Amino acid sequence: MNRKLIAGNWKMNGLRADLPTIREVAVAATGQPGAPELLLCVPATLLSEACSIASGSALAVGGQTCHVSEKGAFTGDISAPMLRELGATHVIVGHSERRTGHGESDEIVAGQARTAQKAGLIPIICIGETLEERSAGRTLNIIKGQLSGSLAGLESAANLVIAYEPLWAIGTGKVATPAQIEEVHGFIRSFLKGRFGDAGKGVRILYGGSLNPGNAPEILPIPNVDGGLIGGASLKAADFLAIYATARALSV
């Protein structure tokens, strides 16, 4: 069984007034052996302060995207080395909001993941189908295509996380059923074993999509669910920590 990872995605939320939430989460993070890992991916503007708050605690801090290039004339973008320098350990790449809102293709996502790994960050590569694709019975084909494209050229499975986030479940309050999650996560695991051999067993596969304290006890124990990527419920320390507590109870 892989060590679980409970990751929050604050998206474009959070001002300095919200730093006490990060402090509360950092204080609750336990570094005990076997305990789940806890991560908050905050807006770039809060990264520096979040890293200072988390310093010395078991809370890790991550970014929400990075550019394919390490530096250059890309106004408004942020690079993987910049995130790493601030103290980030992870970066989300290929979130559906970036794929749809910023035209980030599988090829771009693969480039971001490679640059992230080179900079010493762990990329969390997001994949997931739309409702139309699911209704048309194309879910596994879509997932296979996204995995092939988004992992292109990645040599190491050691520093890699995959997040399965059905688009119709993100921020909607609709959650995939345990059977749907088990099927897709099992498929992703087989793909990873085919792609990376035995090392594919150790790649963590997170579920994301309206995960909350109420449904976490049903979702986190599903085979091949190695944690969660949590949007809305990560904004409140009490909710995020309740999901973490569920993961902790499963780890003992």
Cite the active site residues: 95, 165
Which is closer to ligand PEP, CB of 92 or CB of 154?
92
User: What is the H or E stretch that residue 60 is in?
Assistant: strand 59-63
Q: Identify which of residues 47 and 170 has a Cβ nearer to ligand PEP in the complex.
A: 170
* Binding flag, residue 209, ligand PEP (CB under 6 A): yes
Which of 37, 104, 106, 165 is close enough to bind ligand PEP by CB under 6 A? 165
210 binds ligand PEP (CB under 6 A): yes
Q: Does 161 bind ligand PEP (CB under 6 A)?
A: no
Give Cβ neighbours of residue 30 (< 8 Å, ≥ 6 apart).
Answer: 58, 248
- Closest CB to ligand PEP among 96 and 139? 96
Say whether residue 170 binds ligand PEP (CB under 6 A). Answer: yes
Phi, psi (deg, nearest 5) at residue 167 = -60, -35
Residue type, 150: S
Amino acid at 240: F
d(CA 229, CA 5): 8
Q: Is 230 in the site for ligand PEP (CB under 6 A)?
A: yes
Q: How far is the CB of 75 from ligand PEP (least distance, A)?
A: 25
Angle at 221 between CA 94 and CA 185, to 5 degrees: 40
Q: Does 239 bind ligand PEP (CB under 6 A)?
A: no
Selected binder of ligand PEP within 20, 171, 194, 197 (CB under 6 A): 171
**Tokens of residue 7, six digits:** 């990751």
Cβ 134 to ligand PEP shortest distance, Å: 16
Distance of alpha carbon 173 from alpha carbon 24, whole angstroms: 25
46: which 2 tokens? Answer: 């809060």
- List the one residue from 123, 208, 213, 227 that touches ligand PEP (CB under 6 A): 208
Of residues 54, 229, 241, 243, which one binds ligand PEP by CB under 6 A?
A: 229
Could you give the C-alpha distances from 1 to 30, 215, 221, 250, in angstroms and in order?
19, 21, 11, 11
Residues contributing to the site for ligand PEP (CB under 6 A) = 9, 165, 170-171, 208-211, 229-233
